[in-house]
């Protein structure tokens, strides 16, 4: 059975965005960090995202995969590697407003049931990225999420959504892997051991 691995970038105080919904500055994330996350994504063949995460992340990286530079900073070989990796993954988007296209399957309704069915397929793992409103009920569903992959940057924000806002169940986690980067970011992978 495939694993569902929740992945999100966060601050030290567990915020996934600033009050305006964007990344914080400075954002110490470079080539080494991107290459490492690409390796983590290589374990999966599907990326399931909340609508906001999808609309924020995927179009930007799809442009990089097409050879464009959607930002101001120069792109690295690691950026191109991640862009190719994510482009090759099947995308599932949780939304009640978007429609399915050849590039994405849109699902709504009972997300626990949808992900449980997806988990039963004999394929690569599923990366899950979503905001707290979507994550809370998924994290509380026993046995649904197998691992958490956090990329923690050295920043503390006074406002913005926190990753586990609205969680209704306690989670027991076991650290299985860590990586500390020179820029100050830490990537930590945890296995869910049980609800507490």
With helix as H, strand as E and coil as C, how does 112-136 read? Answer: HHHHHHHHCCCCCEEEEECCHHHHH
- Domain 4-195: CATH superfamily is Dihydrofolate Reductase, subunit A (3.40.430.10)
Mean pLDDT on 162-189: 94
- Give the C-alpha separation, 34 to 79, whole Å: 7
- Give the C-alpha separation, 89 to 119, whole Å: 15
Task: Say which residue the tokens 């500055």 belong to.
Answer: 25
Domain ranges of the chain: 4-195
In the DSSP assignment, the letter for residue 14 is -
Whether 190 shows a pLDDT value over 70: the answer reads yes
The mean predicted confidence, pLDDT, of the chain is 93
pLDDT of the residue at 128? 98
Whether 54 shows a pLDDT value over 80: the answer reads yes
Prediction pTM value: 0.94
In the DSSP assignment, the letter for residue 178 is E
Mean pLDDT on 113-123: 92
User: Do the beta carbons of residue 6 and residue 129 sit within 8 Å?
Assistant: yes
pLDDT of the residue at 32? 92
pLDDT band, very low/low/confident/very high, at 23 (cuts 50, 70, 90): confident
Give the burial string for 26-50 (b: 16+ CB within 10 Å, else e): eeebeeebbebbbebbeebbbbbbb
Task: Say which residue the tokens 């309704």 belong to.
Answer: 109
Mean pLDDT on 86-105: 96
């Amino acid at each position: 059975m495939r694993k569902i691995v929740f992945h999100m970038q966060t601050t030290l105080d567990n915020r996934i965005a600033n009050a305006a919904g964007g990344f914080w500055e400075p954002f110490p994330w470079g080539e080494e960090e991107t290459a490492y996350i690409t390796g983590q994504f290589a374990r999966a063949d599907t990326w399931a995202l909340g609508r906001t995460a999808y609309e924020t992340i995927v179009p930007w990286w799809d442009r990089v995969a097409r050879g464009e530079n959607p930002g101001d900073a120069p792109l690295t070989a690691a950026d191109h590697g991640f862009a190719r990796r994510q482009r090759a993954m099947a995308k599932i988007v949780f939304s009640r407003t978007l429609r399915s296209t050849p590039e994405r399957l849109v699902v709504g309704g009972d997300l626990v049931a949808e992900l449980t069915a997806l988990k039963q397929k004999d394929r690569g793992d599923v990366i899950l990225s979503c905001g707290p409103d979507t994550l809370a009920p998924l994290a509380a569903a026993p046995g649904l999420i197998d691992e958490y992959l956090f990329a923690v940057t050295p920043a503390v924000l006074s406002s913005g959504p926190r990753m586990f806002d609205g969680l209704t169940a306690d989670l027991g986690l076991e650290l299985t892997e860590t990586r500390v980067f020179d820029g100050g970011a830490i990537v930590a992978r945890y296995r869910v051991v049980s609800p507490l």
